[in-house]
Amino acid sequence: MSYFDAASAAPLHPVARQALLASLDEGWADPARLYREGRRARMLLDAAREATAEAVGCRPDELTFTSSGTRAVHTAVAGASAGRRRVGRHLIVSAVEHSSVLHSAEAFEAEGGTVTRVPVTRTGAVAVESYVDALRSDTALACLQSANHEVGTEQPVAAVAEACREAGAPLLVDAAQSLAWGAVEGPWSLLTGSAHKWGGPSGVGLLVVRKGVRFAAQGPVDERESGRAAGFENLPAIVAAAASLRAVRAEAEVEAARLRDLTARIRARVADVVPDVEVVGDPHRRLPGIVTFSCLYVDGEALLHELDRAGFSVSSGSSCTSSTLTPSHVLRAMGVLSEGNVRVSLPWGAAEEDVERFLAVLPGAVAGVRDKLGAPAPASASGPAPDAEGGALVVDALGRRCPIPVIELAKVIGDVPVGGTVRVLSDDEAARLDIPAWCEMRGQEYLGEEPADRGAVYTVRRTS
């Protein structure tokens, strides 16, 4: 089995395993106690904090270990916004932040704050100017991920951090996906991370609060971890997390170059071997191991099952694989195709042979799913254009989910003359994203949507 979902959770690094087992014997006592076992545990905790702080690029007393990366984000947003309550109740986030940041923003709004959600380009990147424009005199906190977890696009964190510093607003960086590859550049104020993203054990998060940043921890607190993470530290896991971060950093430069070559190969070859596919994310400013693409006329869940049966573990941002039946907020913000979405995120040490086997298996898997759904032939309309001008056709796709509305549109677009329109009636949220994306891929004109009694009507004009 080839595991290609390292962006969700990286396999446990061998160094992490060794450190975890060793610290189970040496680090079981309470590090707050003064007897021998407690002092030994405190030495392990202090050493782990110092090693992690060195890798992050902060002072040891600025770093707190939390129970997860999500908990670190929630604590950071709540504490920083509360610490600057007198400044104002305005929060800035990008539209493609991790759900932990967006959930914190929703909670902030529910408590009376206001939130500006900065849009992104079609590659998934924010414009520095957009953050500058969003900054206000009452901005309590701005948030920006270092790199996107779904498409791999790196964000201009250093420039945004500089703009925030000039405006007097702190910047929180969610660095969960990038810390394995290097420290985050720029004058950021707060930073979060998660050990299971770099080969450490799950259940260890990082929260860094720079000296001088106003921060008021919320909820019940105790004396541990500077009052920012209540409860007994999971010392063996913390030691393993620090050891694995140090280990992956030592290999990062060489491994990054190797994985960039492999993902570049996937990006180029997928577009060649699979018809009607859109490779998404920035082609250059991106993490080494992530490549994401979407396939027209494909049910994402069915495709993932086909790849799983072929021996590949991948993930998807498609609504077809989601219990909510809504497309990924990242793909939606980018305005790219969501159906048949596949994210390949290669772990450290991923073999070239496995990548080649994936590229050999993928075309057949996609074709099989399309055939089961009755999809039209690749890159073709259903028939020649009639000679008559004008004309309209209505497709009723109510109650039918991704990718059926787009498949039905593709089947009939050739039945209307050039200049004629097709109106697709759909109550599937994914249609709002995938029909315009289909038009861009096919060279047809998307005229927009109108509300209907159920769902919406999406109108497409045939141009060729």
Cβ neighbors of 365 (< 8 A, separation 6 or more) are 303, 306, 307, 310
Respond yes or no: is residue 320 known to be catalytic.
yes
CA 273 to chain centre: 26
Distance CA 402, CA 423 (A): 17
What distance in Å separates the CA atoms of residue 48 and residue 53, rounded to the nearest whole number?
Answer: 8
DSSP three-state, residue 285 = coil
CA distance 373 to 275: 16
Measured in whole angstroms, the distance separating CA 349 from the mean position of its chain's CA atoms is: 22
Nearest to 56 by CA among 162, 182, 158, 168: 182
CB 368 within 8 A of CB 306: yes
Nearest alpha carbon to residue 77 among 187, 217, 179, 267:
217
- Report, in this order, helix, strand and coil percent for the chain, each rounded to 5: 40, 20, 40
What amino acid is encoded at 403 in this protein? Answer: P
What Cα–Cα distance (Å) separates residue 211 from each residue in 62, 161, 228, 326? 7, 16, 14, 41
Spot the catalytic one: 58, 295, 320, 439: 320
What kind and span of H or E run contains 264? helix 235-273
Positions annotated as catalytic residues are 320
